Chains A and B, each alone.
Chain A
Amino acid sequence: MSKIDQANQEAVKKMMMSRPVWVDIGRAKDVIPGMKDNLFLHAGPPITWDRMSGPLKGAIIGGLIYEGKAENAEEAEKIAESGDIEFAPCHHYNTVGPMAGVTTPSQLVFIIKDEEWGGNTFSNMNEGYGKVLRYGAYDDEVLNRLRWLDEVYAPCLKEAVKLAKGVDMKSIIAQALHMGDDAHNRNRATTSLFIRTIAPFIAETDFGKEKEYDAPRLDLSNVSEYFKNTRASVAAEVLAFMHSNDLTSLNAIMAACKSMALAAHGVENSTMVTTMARNGTDFGIRVSSTGDKWFTAPANVPDGLFFSGFKSSDANRDIGDSVITETVGVGGFAMAAAPAIVNFIGGSPADAFDATNEMYEITVAENNNFNIPAMDFKGTPTGIDVRKVVEKNIVPRINTGIAHKEAGIGQVGAGIVKPPMEMFVDALKELAK
């Protein structure tokens, strides 16, 4: 075995040995090392304000209003242009965020601890579907929901996870793949398991009795008329919101995947990809043995199914850190575990198997934690080798949500997207130096 193959085996072994556990929730500026009052994190590789896409700009605008730094969108844009706010990739701070990924200093974030290798990773709370900050929307409905998440939802989860003494995220992902999820775009099982694990502790917190709070109340009548007519406890509202949103677990899952990817980073001679991320303008990757250097290329526009009233020309270029799931062998790489996903992103169940089978061509291992029952419990394809991507001309398969290209509108569909080959070629050239 060559020294590069040995290095890749070491990297993927470290990735698979990582044990991410959700241990706490904290305020970004208090718990993310290096986070400060004028720093806004975003998805994908580094980018300046002038090159940001509509949904990322929209999320920055919403973040500035949410933080109380701006009264309205016009004021927020001036602040963003002024240079008073620093922008940096979430990945530079061991953080990940879906879609725009905007993480601001006051937001409450999941803290995921790697019980094997040490260190924490972070991600903010998931807001649900449609018009939400992570898709670049920032009207009152979005800002009120953020306030509710910050003042009601996250504090309740924080108390619950303390009582639970941690939640094993890897176990949830492994079980969810046996229940029809890919742990990226289909999260119904992941979220069900997440709720099932934490629900008894939510009920056990003081929020089980608390009914009063200052934040604007959420409309939960889509869950049950009960919440329209009755003043429910905070715990009941939190559980109802979790149930209403299949993506409830996604952000914590992503932070768990970041933990696994981080474990594989920094292995000398390894040609394995340890970061893939998009900012809505560029796609970027980082490789285990090439340090913090990003290899970037213009992101492609996703193709898929669009919500009623929207069409492919509304779609923004690919955006978000959620491709961290594919980086560690789930998401699009585990499509065969989730044939029902084709209802959401298009195609046929056979395409789901083709997608997973193709990913074995560009990876270095079969995962020893995540497997696919319908493929005789074969481990998911894990650890993308830059050399194989270029040699076979096969790029990683990615499932993704689709954002509207203009700020302030939100999600318009879901589908698949191909990362650009150029960045893998650039990484190969760097590795060969």
Chain B
Amino acid sequence: MENLFNSELKVINLGLEGFAETLKERGTQVIHVRWQPPAMGDDDLLSLLDKLK
């Protein structure tokens, strides 16, 4: 853990873009991956999608 914070950070950020932007503003190398839970995390929609595979 100590090593992690003493070395140069290279970050892959998943989901909320705000975290990536904050890191970028502080000069950290960051790649943002757009991701969100399938079907907005709605169980009913997920079961419909399962039916339509």
Contact = CB atoms under 8 A, between A and B. Distances in A.
Interface string A75-114: 0000000000000000000000000000000000000000
Helix, strand, loop or mixed for chain B's interface? helix
B16 interface: no
Contacts of B45: 390, 425, 428
A391 B39 contact: yes
A2 B39 contact: no
A429 B53 contact: no
B51 A390 contact: no
B10 to A, nearest CB: 22
Contact of B40 (A4, A387, A393, A432): A393
Contacts of A393: 36, 39-40
Interface residues of A, number: 13
Contacts of B48: 390, 428-429, 432
Given A428-B45, A428-B48, A2 B53 contact: yes
Please report whether the interface of chain A is mostly helix, strand, loop or mixed according to DSSP: helix
B25 to A, nearest CB: 19
Contacts of B49: 387, 390-391, 428
B1 interface: no
Contacts of A391: 38-39, 49
A392 interface: yes
Interface string A252-291: 0000000000000000000100000000000000000000
A271 B52 CA distance: 9
Contacts of A390: 39, 45, 48-49
Contacts of A232: none
Interface in A390-406: 390-393
Interface in B10-53: 36, 38-40, 45, 48-49, 51-53
A431 interface: yes
A4 B39 contact: no
Contacts of A271: 52
Nearest to B53: A2
Nearest to B40: A393
B38 A4 contact: no
A316 B53 CA distance: 38
B19 to A, nearest CB: 19
Contacts of A431: 52
B52 A432 contact: yes
B39 to A, nearest CB: 5
A430 to B, nearest CB: 10
A266 to B, nearest CB: 18
A387 B52 contact: yes
Contacts of A425: 45
Nearest to B36: A393
A3 to B, nearest CB: 10
Contacts of B53: 2, 4
A420 to B, nearest CB: 14
Contacts of B40: 393
A393 B51 CA distance: 18
Nearest to A354: B34
B49 to A, nearest CB: 6
A289 to B, nearest CB: 11
A432 B39 contact: no
A6 to B, nearest CB: 12
Contacts of A428: 45, 48-49, 52
Which of B36, B40, B45, B52: most chain A Cβ within 10 A? B52
Interface in A418-433: 425, 428-429, 431-432
B36 A432 contact: no
A286 B26 CA distance: 47
A393 B52 CA distance: 16
27 contacts: A2-B53, A4-B53, A271-B52, A387-B49, A387-B52, A390-B39, A390-B45, A390-B48, A390-B49, A391-B38, A391-B39, A391-B49, A392-B36, A392-B38, A393-B36, A393-B39, A393-B40, A425-B45, A428-B45, A428-B48, A428-B49, A428-B52, A429-B48, A431-B52, A432-B48, A432-B51, A432-B52
Q: What 9 A-B pairs have minimum CB-CB distances, sorted nearest first?
A: A432-B48, A432-B51, A391-B38, A393-B40, A391-B39, A428-B48, A387-B52, A391-B49, A390-B39
Given A390-B48, A428-B49, 8 more contacts: A4-B52, A271-B52, A390-B39, A391-B39, A391-B49, A393-B39, A428-B48, A432-B51
Interface of B: 36, 38-40, 45, 48-49, 51-53
